[in-house]
Amino acid sequence: MTLKIEEILSQAAVKIGNISETPLLDAEMILANVLKISRFDLILKRKESISVQDNTKFQNDLNRRTNFEPVAYITGEKAFFEDVFYVDRRVLIPRPETEFLVLKAIEHLKKTEKKCDVLDICCGSGCVGLSILRVMDCNLTLSDILEDALDVSRINAEKLFPEGKDIRFIKSDLFSSISEKFDVITANPPYLSKSDMEKYVTGAMAFEPAAAFYGGESGIEKTIEIIDASFDFLKPQGILILELGHEGAGYIKDLRNIKGLEIINDYSGIERVAVISPRRSEN
């Protein structure tokens, strides 16, 4: 029996209703991906039927969702800032709150007349650095400890800049393989503690790379390491822009090696991004 799109979606939403807060949206995104059309076009075609082959592919993908696999990994894409990024299980799925990191970097870069040098460490999919580059002409370096993550970043760089851009990719454990200085350094480092990992990294999040979440016993270790090391990699007026965990701001507000600090709240009012001038005092 041939089913119409709206009937298939209705049944699918019921099937995944107990594991998703947005079951109909999830089903629409998965089916649109199978049919290689936009979600808007899918809604317009809701009275039409699909082939048995396409329905079989959709049902197989839907089964992955019933096992908690994130929609972004099933479809291989995630919208972020002004673009849609390729993602797979080698990288963290971009979150909306990370867009605040991008916005603050762009805001700072717009104040300068020169072409700036930007480093995005812990780059993952490349969503932060590449989003900055889409708006600001800069010399961009993307670095990550994992070659797998850099491979995904390269895919996104080629996708977003098919005409080519001078983007450098460096495999580095934080700053270990970095040698130059930068006007802006951005980072979305791992910031979950051991207890946070046990509490939050379940269900869909368990599909994402654990190394992208775990920031140390208390969760703040990687963040502090980045702040301390950034002294040697920022130009005199350079800034460091960091994404923070839900308690991260409390740890860094009293650090004596921070000369300037601005905290930005995300959509939920959580202190999410820190803009830091981590310059040593001159005495």
Q: Which DSSP string corresponds to 185-212?
A: EEE----B-HHHHHHHS-GGGGGS-GGG
Query: What are the start-end ranges of the H helices in 82-187?
Result: 99-109, 127-135, 147-160
Distance of CA 178 to the CA centre of its chain: 22
Q: Which two tokens stand for residue 198?
A: 């046990």
What's the order of all strands across the beta sheet hosting 182-187? 167-171, 139-144, 117-121, 182-187, 234-243, 271-277, 260-265
What pLDDT, in 10s, does the model give residues 112-168? Answer: 889 999 999 999 999 999 999 999 999 999 999 999 999 999 999 999 999 888 899
| Distance of alpha carbon 149 from alpha carbon 140, whole angstroms | 16
Within a 13 Å sphere around the CA of 11, how many CA atoms are in the beta-carbon half? 11
Task: Read off the pLDDT of residues 51-86 as tens digits, 9 standing for 90 and up.
Answer: 999 999 999 999 999 999 999 999 999 999 999 999
pLDDT higher than 60, residue 240:
yes
- List, for residues 180-190, the tens digit of each pLDDT value: 999 999 999 99
Q: Please compute Rg for the chain using Cα positions.
A: 21
Task: Please give the structure tokens belonging to residue 238.
Answer: 């350079």
pLDDT at 280 over 90: no
Grouping H, G, I as helix, E, B as strand and the rest as coil, residue 24 is: helix
Cα separation of 138 and 81, whole Å? Answer: 18
Distances from the Cα of 184 to the Cα of 67, 172, 180, angstroms = 40, 17, 12
Q: What is the pLDDT of residue 64?
A: 97
Residues contacting residue 130 through CB under 8 Å, at least 6 positions apart? 83, 85, 140, 142, 153, 156, 157, 160, 161, 167
Catalogue all structural domains in the chain, each as residue range(s) with its CATH number: 5-67 (1.10.8.10), 90-277 (3.40.50.150)
Confidence bin at 278 (pLDDT 50/70/90): low
Return the structure tokens found at 194. 């051991």
Report whether pLDDT(225) > 60: yes
Alpha carbons within 13 A on the beta-carbon side of 209: 20
| Burial class of residue 268, CB neighbours in 10 A (0-12, 13-18, 19+) | exposed
How many Å apart are CA 182 and CA 200, to the nearest integer? 34
Query: What Cα–Cα distance (Å) separates residue 233 from each residue in 146, 149, 150, 247?
Result: 21, 22, 21, 26
